[in-house]
Chain A
Amino acid sequence: MYKYQSSKNSGAKSWVFQRISGLALVVLMIGHYILMHYHPDSGHTYDAVLGRMQFSWYRIIDLVFLTLGMYHGLNGIWGIFRDYNLKPWLKISVLTSLFILGIAFVAWGYNIIFSIPYLRNITLN
């Protein structure tokens, strides 16, 4: 029935989501670049980061950005491996490593974002 074991999953869903996440990332990435570089301080000082992180929307955008970026990137790497018709044990090892790598770095990133405090009495000017 199936010529190759792995063809049970056609990959169509991941293909569609790779395009959708890619399009979202284009918008997020250009915004991120402008936001972080329109002034030399905006991306490189603690105050600027702290100020942005007072708005939960910035945190949410960063979390989404990180998750989508990691998914898109690791799925892309997996796509490269898929080109080389690996042996099943190697396939599983690569996939597991990519999963662990992705989850570890996303968790690390979340931890960084959540560790930034909300200030109680701030004056915005």
Chain B
Amino acid sequence: MPEDTGKIRKFDQKEWIKENISYHKDSGSWAWIYHRISGLALIGYLFLHVYSLSTLTAGREAFETKMKAFTTPFFMALEWVLFIFVLFHSLNGIRIVLVDWADGARYHKMLYKVSWIAGIILFLVMGYIMFSHEILKLFGK
């Protein structure tokens, strides 16, 4: 890192990337990176979501032809994958609130681990909720 001369440094893309990659990353840094990626994915999805539901204004038939594509196993799996982003952003968001408002700086690393464990459990629970219909069809009545 060049020494601080008091002037605002000119932005150098290459140096910026080098600095960021070489920076020693603790759990908090990874949380920050994943929080950003998942946040961008979720706001992107919100735009798509409004767009994909816009056929509701055109009545039943238009809506159901469009929805047919989203009820395929592939899309159901994608919706489950989307829940990873939702979960990470939610749980890490709660962690951030605790750090800001509940002295969480003292235990944020523990919170990070706990949120991963809770996240994996909730991911599996949601998988069961989403696919329970199919699971029940597979195994007996």
Contacts and interface: CB of A to CB of B under 8 A. Distances in A.
B85 to A, nearest CB: 11
A46 B60 contact: yes
Contact of B50 (A49, A112, A115): A112
Contact of A112 (B8, B56, B83): B56
A29 interface: yes
B76 to A, nearest CB: 8
A84 B86 CA distance: 26
Interface of B is mostly: helix
A58 to B, nearest CB: 13
Nearest to A73: B43
Q: Chain A: interface secondary structure?
A: helix
Nearest to B133: A40
A120 interface: no
Nearest to A74: B43
Contacts of B90: 25-26, 29-30
Question: Which one of B50, B54, B94 has the greatest number of beta carbons of chain A within 10 Å?
Answer: B50
Contacts of B129: 34, 37-38
Interface residues of B, number: 38
A22 B36 contact: no
B103 interface: no
Interface of B: 8, 11, 36, 39-40, 42-43, 46-47, 50, 53-54, 56-57, 59-60, 63-64, 67, 70-71, 76, 79, 83, 86, 90, 93-94, 96-97, 100-101, 126, 129-130, 132-134
Interface of A: 19, 22-23, 25-26, 29-30, 33-34, 37-40, 44-46, 49, 66, 69-70, 73-74, 76-77, 80, 84-85, 105, 108-109, 111-112, 115-116
Given A26-B93, A34-B126, A108-B50, 7 more contacts: A19-B100, A33-B86, A37-B79, A38-B129, A45-B67, A49-B56, A66-B46
5 contacts: A70-B46, A80-B40, A85-B11, A112-B50, A115-B56
